[in-house]
C-alpha cells in the first residue's frame, strides 16, 4: 500500500524521457560548427550537471560557453519530436496522483525546453524545477530546498540515473532510487534500484 506522507521527485532526461539521440545530434552539429574536438561520449558522462559545468568539465573554451549553450538547446528544441517517453511513465505518475502522492521534477534542462516536452507528452507532475530556476545545479541542494519549501515536512524520494542525481539526493537527505534503465552506469547505490519507472510504486 502506498504511503500518504511522501513526496517523490524525478530527474527528467534519462528517467522520464529518452532524449539521448537528440542530445548527440545537437552536440555533434555545434562541435562541427565551432571546431570542438570533444566527443559526445565525454559530454554524456556529465549529463545531469548544469550545462556550463559540463562545458567546464570537458574542456570547452570559456569564451564559447554562451554561443555553445544557445546553439545546443536550440538544436535539442529543433529535434524535440524525436524525444521518446519511457514506458509506463504516464501510468505511474497517474497512479501516484490518484493516491494523492505529490510529484516533482528537478532537471538541469532549461525551463522552455522542459515545459515544451511536458506539454507534448502531457506529463502529470505537481512542480518542476529547471536549470534557470536556480543558481546552483545538482548536486547542490538549492533545487531540493525549493521543493522542500513547496511540499513541507515529508519523506522525499528522488529517482535519477546519474551520479550527480545520487549525490543530489544524498545532499538533500532524499531517499535515492536509481533508474538503471537511464544513461548512467552506477555500480553502487545507497538506495533502491529500478529497471522501469513503474517499479517505483512497489518501493513506496
Lowest pLDDT segment from 166-170, 176-180, 199-203: 199-203
Quick check: helix, strand or coil at residue 69? helix
Q: Give Rg (Cα) of the chain.
A: 17
Cell digits for 56?
A: 567546464
Quick check: helix, strand or coil at residue 85? strand
pLDDT band at 1 (very low <50, low <70, confident <90, very high): very low
For residue 129, what is the DSSP state? E
pLDDT greater than 50 at residue 5: yes
Give the distance from CA 71 to its chain's centroid: 20
Q: What is the pLDDT of residues 10-50, one digit of tens each?
A: 999 999 999 999 999 999 999 999 999 999 999 999 999 99
pLDDT for 191 equals 73
CATH for 6-18+84-203 (3.90.1150.10, 2.30.30.40, 1.10.565.10, 3.40.50.1000): 3.40.50.1000
Cell digits for 132?
A: 534557470
For residue 84, how many other CB atoms are within 10 A of its CB?
12
Distance CA 48, CA 56 (A): 14
For residue 131, how many other CB atoms are within 10 A of its CB?
21
Q: List beta partners, residue 178.
A: 160, 193
Domain boundaries, the chain: 6-18+84-203, 20-81
Distance CA 114, CA 89 (A): 16
**Percentage above 70 pLDDT, the chain:** 97
pLDDT for 186 equals 86
Lowest pLDDT segment from 36-40, 129-133, 161-165, 183-187: 183-187
Residue pair 13/47 in contact (Cβ under 8 Å)? The answer is yes
Q: What is the pLDDT of residues 68-106, one digit of tens each?
A: 999 999 999 999 999 999 999 999 999 999 999 999 999
Q: 3, 4, 8: which is closest to 158 by C-alpha?
A: 8
Quick check: helix, strand or coil at residue 193? strand
CA dihedral sign, ordered 89, 162, 151, 142: negative
Averaged confidence pLDDT in the chain: 94
pLDDT for 3 equals 63
**DSSP string over 100-128:** T--EEEE-SS-HHHHHHHHHHHT---SEE
Amino acid at each position: 500500500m502506498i504511503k500518504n506522507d511522501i513526496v517523490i521527485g524525478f530527474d527528467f532526461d534519462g528517467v522520464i524521457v529518452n532524449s539521448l539521440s537528440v542530445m548527440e545530434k545537437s552536440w555533434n552539429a555545434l562541435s562541427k560548427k565551432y571546431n570542438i574536438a570533444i566527443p559526445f561520449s565525454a559530454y554524456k558522462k556529465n549529463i545531469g550537471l548544469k550545462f556550463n559545468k559540463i562545458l567546464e568539465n570537458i574542456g570547452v573554451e570559456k569564451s564559447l560557453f554562451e554561443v555553445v549553450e544557445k546553439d545546443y538547446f536550440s538544436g535539442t528544441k529543433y529535434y524535440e519530436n524525436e524525444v521518446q517517453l519511457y514506458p509506463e511513465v504516464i501510468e505511474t505518475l497517474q497512479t501516484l496522483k490518484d493516491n494523492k502522492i505529490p510529484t516533482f521534477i528537478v532537471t538541469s534542462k532549461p525551463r522552455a525546453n522542459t515545459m515544451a516536452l511536458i506539454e507534448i507528452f502531457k506529463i502529470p507532475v505537481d512542480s518542476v524545477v529547471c536549470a534557470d530556476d536556480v543558481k546552483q545545479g545538482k548536486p547542490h541542494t538549492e533545487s531540493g530546498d525549493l521543493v522542500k519549501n513547496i511540499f513541507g515536512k515529508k519523506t522525499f524520494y528522488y529517482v535519477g540515473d546519474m551520479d550527480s542525481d545520487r549525490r543530489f539526493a544524498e545532499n538533500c537527505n532524499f531517499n535515492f532510487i536509481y533508474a538503471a534503465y537511464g544513461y548512467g552506469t552506477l555500480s553502487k547505490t545507497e538506495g533502491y534500484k529500478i529497471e522501469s519507472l513503474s517499479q517505483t510504486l512497489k518501493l513506496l
